Amino acid sequence: MAAQEQIKASRPTTYDVRPSVVVVGGASVDIVGMAAGPVQPRVSNPGRVRISPGGAGRNVAENLARLGLRVALMTAVDAGPLGDWLIERTSNAGVDVTQIARVEGRGHYYVAIESAGVLQWATSDMAATESVTPGAIDARAGLIRAAEAVVLDANVLPATIRRVAELAAGRLCLLPVSVAKSRRVLDVLNQSSMIALTAAEAQMLTDRPVTSRDEIVHAGRHLQSRGPAAVVITAGDQGMVWIGKETAWAQISPAAVVDATGAGDAVAAVSIFCMLAGVREDLAARLAAAAGALTCGIEGATHPGLTREALHRYAELAENI
């Protein structure tokens, strides 16, 4: 059976349940400058600037909501107008925002410069997210325990990460979010069901080279040996790999890279969705890769048209190219 036919044959016609997911992690206001040409240091670079909702946890929550899941986001944002705007935009995407705390004078910003869709540099100020304490998590313990899956990103501090992991009765999915913060999740790997990360983050967590596909798989298997049943690694031009019972590589290139922000979060969200929906691993990898490619094709960290049907169509079209 051709790959395209396999995708069609495996496509779920209905989803009998709408799993409940709690996401604990970062929410930010993304300020991204898209330079018109190569970025020159120490000068003003012509281009465009966009402002949009972001943050790894928030992006995953929005994507899961667009895929039809019931999602609550636990985070904190500044008490000012930009915090209001961020909450409103997240709520409009279908996410339960009633568990978002408001804090005075704490940052929730991501500032970046891109050129030709490639990130040149970025600064992340997630002080608001880091204000979420284990005590704040305990106040919401019932919601976490009742969730069928808990998504936890490394924008929260290690003590809070450990407390969430202790409370999670459903599947625990980890997002290391950056090389700098990735080691925050090491202590809870043995309690997780899935980890979604970049090759650079995998290298940091395993102290192993990740240059070739074989090296990436070896690093992923090493992580898997420490707990998670599935390891999802994005590897730039090499595509992405789902390491579970089997190893499934997928590579789907966007028609044009407009803005790469949030592509990895889309891959993570669709991987989590596929895990909960019981999608077979090779198809899950292709759908997750399709989500990343779709997100690269628009400005902003989340694609408003990210639906189950759109993912299947995009994966099928890629087979014909």
Please check whether residue 1 lies inside any domain of the structure. no
200-231 burial, b if ≥16 CB within 10 A, otherwise e?
A: bbbbbbbeeebeeeebbbbbbeebbeebbebb
Task: Quickly state the pLDDT bin for 40 (edges 50, 70, 90).
Answer: very high
| Mean of pLDDT over the chain | 92
Query: Could you list the residue range(s) of the whole structural domain that residue 159 is in?
Result: 19-37+46-320
The sign one gets for the Cα dihedral 270, 275, 280, 282 is: positive
Separation in Å, CA 246 to CA 50, 89, 136, 175, 224: 40, 38, 39, 21, 12
Nearest to 288 by CA among 298, 277, 156: 277
User: How many of the other CB atoms lie within 10 Å of CB of 246?
Assistant: 10
pLDDT at residue 10 is higher than 70: no
Q: Is residue 190 assigned to a domain? A: yes
Residues 6+ apart with CB under 8 A from 236: 199
Other CB atoms within a 10 A radius of the CB of residue 136 amount to: 17
Q: What pLDDT score was predicted for residue 7?
A: 37
The tokens for 321 are 């190219």
Q: What is the DSSP string of 259-295?
A: --TTHHHHHHHHHHHHHHHT--HHHHHHHHHHHHHHH
Instruction: Name the domain count of the chain.
Output: 1
Residue 92 host element (H or E): helix 81-92
Our measurement of the distance from residue 84's CA atom to the centroid of its chain's CA atoms, rounded to an integer in Å, reads 23
What's the start-to-end Cα distance of the chain, in Å? 18
pLDDT score at 14: 42
Q: Quick check: is 72 in a domain?
A: yes
Q: Does residue 32 sit within a domain? A: yes
pLDDT of residue 268: 98
SS3 content of the chain, % helix, strand, coil (to 5): 40, 25, 35
Residue 294 has pLDDT above 70, yes or no: yes
- Report CA 162 to chain centroid distance, whole Å: 20
At residue 52, what is the residue type?
S
Given pLDDT bands bounded at 50, 70 and 90, which one contains residue 319?
low
Q: Rounded to an integer, what distance in angstroms lies between the CA atom of residue 163 and that of residue 144?
A: 11
List pLDDT tens digits, range 261-284.
899 999 999 999 999 999 999 999
Residue 242: CATH number of its domain: 3.40.1190.20
Residue 6 lies in a domain: no
